[in-house]
A = this chain, B = another copy of it.
Amino acid sequence: MNSELSSQQIQDIGEQGLLERLQRFCPPEIIGDDAAVLVTAPEQSLVVTTDVLVDGVHFSNLTTSPEDAGWRAAAANLSDLAAMGASPLGITVGLGLPGEVRVSWVERLYQGITECLQKYNTSIVGGDVVRSPVTTLAITAFGQVSPHRIIRRSAAVVGHAIVITGVHGASRAGLELLLHPELGQDLKDVEKTDLIRAHQRPQPRLDVLPILQKILNSQSKIVRLSEAKVQNLKSKIPVAGMDSSDGLADAIIQICRASNVGAVLQRRQISLPAAFDHWLTQEQALEYALYGGEDFELVLCLPQESASALVQHLGQGAAIVGKITSGSTVLLHDEEKKFPNQVLSLSQGFQHFSQ
């Protein structure tokens, strides 16, 4: 270890710099998706994902009840499983707690976690509780998936459609309303409640997986191949994707980077909460949708025909928002030519270690 390195602090290199250094301790084939995939049997893969949440950094009693903090933590991990095409098997919960935390706070946290898990027919299967100067929540979720149904970021194909499974921007709008209640003057009460709920109780899109598989299977059959060839074809229909937890723009850019492709998005196709129409400017609404994050929808790239069928089945804000192109740029295009074309780039993002 050279001396330059040994004198550096985490805050000098930031989260991304640290992750790059730590990745050399992991097998390269498991890096780069929402979760790791381990083959446990010929037709079964184990999918594993983990998150650490720290009081004051990732949640706070000021904006989040313990029930909501629990729900959100569970939902984020289940969303990572959904993003890989995997059905949940369970989660473990590691908890670090100061001695003065109220027992009822911890029980309410667990209540929120289990409410979310129950909705998706899964449960807490293990855990650890230790003393810590700061409340810390470490969740590991695991799921299973047939190897040919794994959804990877790196599988996007030029010409395929880009599908979003629901509206974007609602979670960010809900957070703004929680932080600045005075902002919602132009909103009806039910609109406010819905936006805040989108932030407090995000819904991981595990419900999309069986619909997606049904469509892919039926699309395979349409081409009338022998059964053996259908099997072969099924395993060859590549679905690329990830969740939009870090924002819609981030998801599309990550998929394009991992797949060495570009994309063109149609500005008007990006579905927004109806309340945005009479509340936000078009620029503000798009900003929330592209960069707001935590909508926990899926962003999927698949053949046009399958994409149309999927959007029709899902309804409720699901849309084809663009298509995969050759090249490497992600272009935002306005059909109405009201706004100039725009190349999307990753915002610098939240550098967890910067002071």
Contact = CB atoms under 8 A, between A and B. Distances in A.
Interface of A: 1, 5-13, 15, 18-19, 21-22, 25-27, 30, 35-36, 38, 40-41, 44, 46, 48-54, 56-58, 89-90, 92-104, 106-108, 110-111, 113-114, 123-134, 136, 138, 140, 142, 144, 352-355
B5 A104 contact: yes
A235 to B, nearest CB: 19
B103 A12 contact: yes
A130 B53 contact: yes
A106 B6 contact: no
A230 to B, nearest CB: 24
10 contacts: A9-B102, A10-B100, A18-B106, A26-B124, A27-B123, A38-B125, A40-B41, A44-B44, A52-B94, A132-B136
A137 to B, nearest CB: 9
A237 B41 CA distance: 25
Given A92-B140, A125-B27, A128-B51, A106 B22 contact: yes
Nearest to A35: B126
B30 A98 contact: no
A114 to B, nearest CB: 5
A90 B38 contact: yes
Contact of A133 (B18, B130, B134, B138): B134
A29 B252 CA distance: 42
Nearest to A113: B25
A98 B108 CA distance: 28
Contact of A352 (B27, B89, B131): B131
Given A123-B26, A124-B25, A133 B131 contact: no
A25 B138 contact: no
Contact of A104 (B8, B36, B124): B8
Contacts of A48: 90, 92, 125-126, 140, 142
B102 A7 contact: yes
Contacts of A106: 10, 18, 21-22
B99 A9 contact: yes
A2 to B, nearest CB: 9
A107 B102 CA distance: 36
B98 A10 contact: yes
Contacts of A134: 132-134, 136
B136 A52 contact: yes
A142 B352 contact: no
Contacts of A131: 15, 54, 57, 352-353
B26 A125 contact: yes
